[in-house]
Amino acid sequence: MTATETTTLAARLVTRPRRPTSARRVRARRALVGYAFIAPAVVLFLVLGLYTIAYSFGLSFAKWNGFSPTWEWVGLDNYRDILFADPRLAPEMRNAAVNTGIAMVAVSCGTVLIALPLASLLNGITRLRGTLRSIFFLPYVTAGVAVYYAWRYVLEPDGAVNLALRALGLGSLARPQGFLADPATALPTLIVIMIWGSVPVAMLLYLAGLQAIDPAVLEAAALDGAGSVRRLRHITWPLLVPITVAVVLLGLRDTMQGFQIFLIMTNGGPAGHTDVLGLKAYQQAFFQSLSPTLGVASALGWLIFVAALLLAVVNARLLRGQR
């Protein structure tokens, strides 16, 4: 650039400065474009997120059947009825809460007890590890409505499980009424199926955790004379505790909020032996012959949410304690 050109440019800048209004306009345009991009996501969140949350919270203080023009406000009655006030509803909810609690603990513990040894075994082999990992992951890929129906056929009185038990000379373990119609086996059977569905992810998490452990640490311990049990107890297990906490809490949360398996396989039966809170909420909403029970369903949903929130707090504290 020559001196003349520089002078001319400088003179132009001095004589024709960019007007601040024009700069603002450009910035506003750019902002507008940005807002237009995020608008769909924001609107979707407002409609599907905040709106439904606020709607559901309001509904939990009302009686409504889903189509009447007005809600009848009942204050805290829905919460009170669920917890203690309604002599018909409250005992059912308590029964469902107990079943939910049993399932939450059993599924979480069972998942850890199966997934950890499975991951350890997979970590200890090199041949066929990928193939076996895929096989063990299959239940997670296939779990769903169709698989639950398949399980029902397998568990019927003349289903594959009873046939196999009888063929193996274990007829005393067979259930003549089938595993889902027998009050003694219905809930345990559903728990086993839920564990079957949750082991794959837990196993993968454990496998990732095991592969992250520095082999030199284990080697040093072995050189110091630590056997496999001591190595597992004093080195591997402490390093896997954060993963275990995550697996347990995921199991607790999924079991507390999920109810598809209970709806499809037993619908809470026989005689309420597999009723859980999520299922009760669904039944209150959609199986009451259009009675105004959506408020009760919503209140129950919020009580489950509070329980889930408490779990999340416990989760955060446990994970913080591990750091």
The residues of the shown chain that bind another protein, judged by CB under 8 A, are 29-30, 32-33, 36-37, 39-40, 43, 63, 65-69, 72, 86-88, 152, 156-158, 176-178, 180-181, 183, 186, 266-267, 269-272, 282, 286-287, 289-292
Region of residue 144 (phi > 0: left; psi between -120 and 50: alpha; otherwise: beta): left
Give least dist CB 9 to another protein, A. Answer: 25
Contacts of 211-214 spanning 24+ positions with Cβ under 8 A:
211/123, 213/239
Whole-angstrom CA distances from 217 to 126, 191, 221, 237, 322 are 20, 37, 6, 13, 19
String of DSSP letters for 137-155: HHHHHH-SHHHHHHHHHHH
For another protein, the closer of residues 69 and 225 by Cβ is 69
Dist. CA 299–CA 293, nearest whole Å: 10
Give least dist CB 255 to another protein, A. Answer: 21
Dist. CA 54–CA 299, nearest whole Å: 12
For another protein, the closer of residues 86 and 254 by Cβ is 86
Listed in sequence order, the residues at least 6 apart from 201 whose beta carbon sits closer than 8 Å to its beta carbon are 140, 250
Give least dist CB 246 to another protein, A. Answer: 34
Give least dist CB 39 to another protein, A. Answer: 6
Distance separating the N- and C-terminal Cα atoms of the chain: 60
Residue 315 · residue 70 · CB < 8 Å: no
For another protein, the closer of residues 267 and 315 by Cβ is 267
Report the Cα 48 to chain-centroid distance in Å.
19
For another protein, the closer of residues 5 and 67 by Cβ is 67
For another protein, the closer of residues 178 and 301 by Cβ is 178
For another protein, the closer of residues 31 and 309 by Cβ is 31
For another protein, the closer of residues 49 and 124 by Cβ is 49
Give least dist CB 268 to another protein, A. Answer: 9
Give least dist CB 291 to another protein, A. Answer: 7
Give least dist CB 280 to another protein, A. Answer: 12
Listed in sequence order, the residues at least 6 apart from 99 whose beta carbon sits closer than 8 Å to its beta carbon are 187, 273, 274, 275, 276
Listed in sequence order, the residues at least 6 apart from 197 whose beta carbon sits closer than 8 Å to its beta carbon are 139, 140, 143
